[in-house]
Amino acid sequence: MNAGQTLAEAVSAATAVLRDAGVPSPRVDAELLADHLLNVGLGRLRALMLGDTPAPDGYAELVAERAGRVPLQHITGVAHFRYLELAVGPGVFIPRPETESVVQLAIDHVKGMQAPRIVDLGTGSGAIAGSLASEVPDAEVHAVEFSPFAHAWAAKNLVPLGVDLVLGDLRDAFQELNGSVDVVVSNPPYIPAEAIPNEPEVALHDPPEALYGGGADGMELPTAAAKSAARLLRPGGYFVMEHAEVQAGWIAAMLARTGAWTHITTHLDLNGKDRATSAVLADQATRNERMGQ
Ligand SMILES: C[S@@+](CC[C@H](N)C(=O)[O-])C[C@H]1O[C@@H](n2cnc3c(N)ncnc32)[C@H](O)[C@@H]1O
């Protein structure tokens, strides 16, 4: 990338730099960084590349940052999730495409419900809670986040959408809602302690408290989220949680062991992997019967 290059030349050179740095989608990232400076949209950007539009000032600096494996979303300051453009940056987990399918399960479940009450445990940037607040008419959405840094990003994204956001622990949040919630959704930290992610964007830039679920198998926080869901939901209420593929069997068994759940179902993500589990809270009589009371 040199001064005086056209946009097309600069984007080609940037693609090569990012490819050499091991960035997984070098061409798209090179285009998105250029669009971050020009703000014309990818369609128009590609049209401009057919002419002799000059490369924008500051492009080389952004490409160098990305080549250092700083996440694209930290450079542009936004993450796209379903219909939302979320403010993100250091200190908050970048929402992932697979979580969009988890949100869809919750949306499908509340179809036709009047003003469903929904709780998101471990909201991070607010991706799940924000999507539900904006896509489900009349939903009453509550979200909890433990990290003050992530909470600050969530506040930017969720307060304008009318979500009730609290700084707290998913283990004991929202006591005032106990037994009254229609849907609990969670994408808790679930990575096993020893499984350090390979990608530098994740290992160096996603906050550790968003990744590691606790315990050698990463199951402590998923188990705590399920326990809170059983506390918060009304009988017949719906719980859906994202997890690692390897945890699908453990999570189904953990839910079954409590005797609190029916309709325990594992769901595939877009890549055909077992990445979410849902369950319905049994009524009290069924729970008593199962627990031998
Ligand atoms: C995997 S991230 C998911 C964030 C967001 N829900 C999403 O899907 O993009 C898990 C989030 O849970 C938060 N967290 C970790 N432990 C928590 C706890 N005990 N109570 C509440 N939130 C917690 C982390 O800070 C992080 O923001």
The minimum-distance atom of ligand 1 relative to the CA of 224 is 19
The architecture that CATH gives domain 90-290 is 3-Layer(aba) Sandwich (3.40)
CA–CA separation, 229 and 180 (whole Å): 11
Question: Which amino acids bring their CB within 6 angstroms of ligand 1?
Answer: 93, 95, 99, 122-125, 127-128, 144-147, 150, 169-171, 187-189, 209-210, 221
Q: What is the CA radius of gyration of the chain?
A: 21
Ligand 1 atom nearest residue 207's Cα: 25
Beta bridge partners of 261: 281
* 237 labeled part of a ligand binding site: no
Cβ proximity of 118 and 181 under 8 Å: yes
**Which ligand 1 atom lies nearest to the CA of residue 169?**
20
Q: 277: annotated binding-site residue? A: no
Give SS3 for 11. Answer: helix
What are the structure tokens assigned to 269, written together?
């993500």
Q: Which of 14, 15, 10 is nearest to 54 (CA)?
A: 10
Q: What is the DSSP string of 69-119?
A: T--HHHHHSEEEETTEEEE--TTSPPP-HHHHHHHHHHHHHHTT-SS-EEE
Neighbours of 203 (CB within 10 A): 13
- CA 143/CA 252 separation, integer angstroms: 24
Type of residue at 99: T
Q: How many helices and strands (H and E) does the chain possess?
A: 13, 9
Residue nearest to atom 27 of ligand 1 (CA): 124
pLDDT (tens digit, 0 to 9) for every residue of the chain, 293 residues total?
667 899 999 999 999 999 999 999 999 999 999 999 999 999 999 999 999 999 999 999 999 999 999 999 999 999 999 999 999 999 999 999 999 999 999 999 999 999 999 999 999 999 999 999 999 989 999 999 999 999 999 999 999 999 999 999 999 999 999 999 999 999 999 998 888 888 998 888 888 889 888 888 999 999 999 999 999 999 999 999 999 999 999 999 999 999 999 999 999 998 999 999 999 999 888 888 887 76
Distance 266 CA to ligand 1 centre (A): 21
CA–CA gap between residue 244 and residue 250 (Å, rounded):
10
The conformation of residue 95, written as its DSSP 8-state character, comes to: P
- Ranges of beta strands (E only) in 32-131 are 78-81, 84-87, 117-121
* Helices 26-38 + 59-67 axis angle, to 10: 140
For ligand 1, atom 22, name the residue with the nearest CA: 122
Tell me which residues are annotated as active site: 93, 187-188
In 17-152, where do the E strands start and end?
A: 78-81, 84-87, 117-121, 140-145
| Alpha carbon distance, N-terminus to C-terminus of the chain | 73
- How many angstroms separate the alpha carbon of residue 220 from the centre of ligand 1? 13
Q: Where are the domains of the chain?
A: 7-68, 90-290
Pocket of ligand 1, candidates 102, 104, 221: which has the most ligand atoms within 8 Å of its Cβ, to mutate?
221
Q: Which two tokens stand for residue 281?
A: 């809270």
